Structure 1
Amino acid sequence: MSDQAFDSALDLLRRLNPKDTAKHVDLLCQLAPSLTEDLLESVDVPLAVKKCRKTKRDFLCCDYNRDGDSWRSPWSNEFEPPVADGEGVVPSDRVRKMEVKANEAFDVYRELYYEGGISSVYFWDIDDGFAGCVLLKKSVSPSAKGSGSWDSIHVFEVHDRARSAQYKQTSTVILTLGTDSENLGTLDLSGNMVRQIQEDRAVEDDGGHVANIGKMVEEMELKMRNSLQEVYFGKAKDIVGDLRSIAPLSETNRDRAAHRDVISSMGR
């Protein structure tokens, strides 16, 4: 019954507005508390933001840096708020050093590509390697005329080999755009995209892991942005163009009449 309920919950979320996924997941967790952990682990929601008390820097929250109702800051390696027993799950010294380097690298990447926003990187230990996630968020300040946000979630596993490593990456982009004006009316354009990739790459040391992950995230984000622009926005533009004519109706009717006259003369 629990598997059937979980599948039904996922099926319901696929049919609801992606813009409100976080609210819908919270309501489902209240209706079926037994599904809470599975839903939080399986459903990507827009990233929440918290501030690190020690460094005064913002960081992003997801299931991978959560311990109960606390979230680990990538800047201080401490939980906000502190966990009940005073401890929490943190990476080993080796993995933490890579995590620090990755946060520094993606902080530069965020500024170059997003010109603002927030980035956070989290690593943790697994058998024969390590895993992690790269989080990026850029939001437009909500106003009476519009709002928007871009959330990138890149989750990966790294399995060490001799002088190389196997990288498995799952990337999710959650995009939300909205506007409300007299000229355009109300528009809500929201959705998400998921892509997966697996590659073997050469690596000499732990710094090589950070470089490889950075290249893979950069390449994946470029592909997903191009796909969104060509397919997602291109299709929306075609639909709006078919539904609404920019030219006056009288001009459109005149063009259609001229077109019919040309066809008729060709037939004669």
Structure 2
Amino acid sequence: MASADPFDSALDLLRRLNPKHTTTHLNSLISLAPDLTEDLLSSVDQPLAVRRCRQTGREYLLCDYNRDGDSYRSPWSNEFDPPVDGGASSAAAVPSDKVRRMEVRANEAFDVYRELYYEGGVSSVYFWNLDDGFAGVVLLKKVATPGSSSEGTWDSIHVFEAIDRARFTQYNLTSTVILSLSTNSNNLGDMDLSGNMTRQIEIELAAESDEQQIANIGKLVEDMELKMRNLLQEVYFGKAKDVVGDLRSVGSLSESARDRQAQKDIIGSMGR
């Protein structure tokens, strides 16, 4: 029997573990198999970490797409922290002047989007060059009431390619949402609900200017987030609520039985 591929086995293991602790599990796997480091970091979506830009003082999000070794590039200053040595690696990690100008405008646009939809949180957008266009990632993170009895974390990662097709541009978008909710109540006990969801879309849209490119990307991300939020609320949370409601009663069973008996007595008296 052929031995299992270590990379596939690592991904299979991560799919079965709590998504809330993906970073811890990922670091443990990397320590066991250092040769898989780059493949795992580029393939596994993990909750986004926040860092403050030294030059501008603004917060930005860390991911594999703005990483060069152990350094991360700020979308606000376009500088790496800690600084990287000059060379082909660092030059390739920074977009061209044209794509960088688009990146700046996209960060400004999604900063407004973040404030309107999330009323807080952190957003970051990173672009890079392709031979036939450009690609990028839109990151959004919101943490609700950290440190309290009820906590929630939303991380959304939208990776896209924009491939030039004459007057049209083909957009390939892959969106991942990592959601974690937890409560600690004396009456209801502890609950930890975590999971992730990934969806993809391919579409061609007219894009004759850089501004139109930014508008198209914003529209695609907005529509995808709306669909995924509705799906989480209606399907996943709705199903979890039904299961908890069937398995657990907040009130005492004696009170429920008394209420049902009173209801039967009222219905019986009305039929006489």
Tell me the TM-score range normalised by the shorter chain: over 0.9
* 1:84–1:43 Cα change, 3 Å: same
Comparing 5-14 with 248-257, greater Cα deviation is found at 248-257
- Aligned partners of 2:177, 2:148: CA distance in 1, in Å? 25
Pick the aligned partner of 1:122 from 117, 126, 145.
126
Pick the aligned partner of 1:242 from 246, 252, 272.
246
Contact 2:188–2:250 under 8 Å retained in 1: no
Check if 1:110 corresponds to 2:114. yes
Q: Deviations over 1:219-261 (max 9, x none)?
A: 0000000000001111111111011123431243356678999
Could you say what secondary structure the match of 1:116 adopts? Answer: coil
- Aligned partners of 2:16, 2:153: CA distance in 1, in Å? 20
Equivalent in the alignment of 1:64: 65
Pick the aligned partner of 2:214 from 210, 213, 216.
210
* Percent identity over paired residues: 69
Equivalent in the alignment of 2:53: 52
- 1:29 Cα offset (Å): 0.4
Task: Tell me the matched-pair count.
Answer: 262
- Aligned partners of 1:69, 1:192: CA distance in 2, in Å? 26
Check if 1:191 corresponds to 2:191. no
Could you say what secondary structure the match of 2:94 adopts? Answer: coil
Q: Deviations over 1:113-167 (max 9, x none)?
A: 0000000000000111000000000012422412221000000001011111000
Could you say what secondary structure the match of 2:5 adopts? Answer: helix
The one-letter code sitting in structure 2 at the alignment partner of 1:22 is T
Once the two structures are superposed, the pairs formed by residues 83-102 of structure 1 within 5 Å of their partners are: 83-85=84-86, 87-88=90-91, 89-102=93-106
The one-letter code sitting in structure 2 at the alignment partner of 1:120 is S
Comparing 191-200 with 245-254, greater Cα deviation is found at 245-254
Q: Deviations over 1:10-63 (max 9, x none)?
A: 111111111000110011000000111110011000001111111111000000
Q: Deviations over 1:55-84 (max 9, x none)?
A: 111000000000000000000000011013
In structure 2, runs of 5+ residues without a counterpart are 266-272
- Aligned partners of 2:81, 2:29: CA distance in 1, in Å? 25
The one-letter code sitting in structure 2 at the alignment partner of 1:52 is C
- 1:97 Cα offset (Å): 0.7
The one-letter code sitting in structure 2 at the alignment partner of 1:159 is I
* 1:80–1:141 Cα change, 3 Å: farther
- Aligned partners of 2:103, 2:86: CA distance in 1, in Å? 24
Equivalent in the alignment of 2:162: 158
The one-letter code sitting in structure 1 at the alignment partner of 2:232 is L
Could you say what secondary structure the match of 2:30 adopts? Answer: helix
Equivalent in the alignment of 2:270: none
- Aligned partners of 2:262, 2:109: CA distance in 1, in Å? 61
Contact 2:95–2:127 under 8 Å retained in 1: yes
> Normalization by structure 2: what TM-score?
0.91
Once the two structures are superposed, the pairs formed by residues 171-190 of structure 1 within 5 Å of their partners are: 171-190=175-194
Once the two structures are superposed, the pairs formed by residues 136-151 of structure 1 within 5 Å of their partners are: 136-151=140-155
Equivalent in the alignment of 1:10: 11
Equivalent in the alignment of 2:82: 81
Could you say what secondary structure the match of 2:112 adopts? Answer: helix
Equivalent in the alignment of 2:173: 169
Equivalent in the alignment of 2:41: 40
Equivalent in the alignment of 2:237: 233
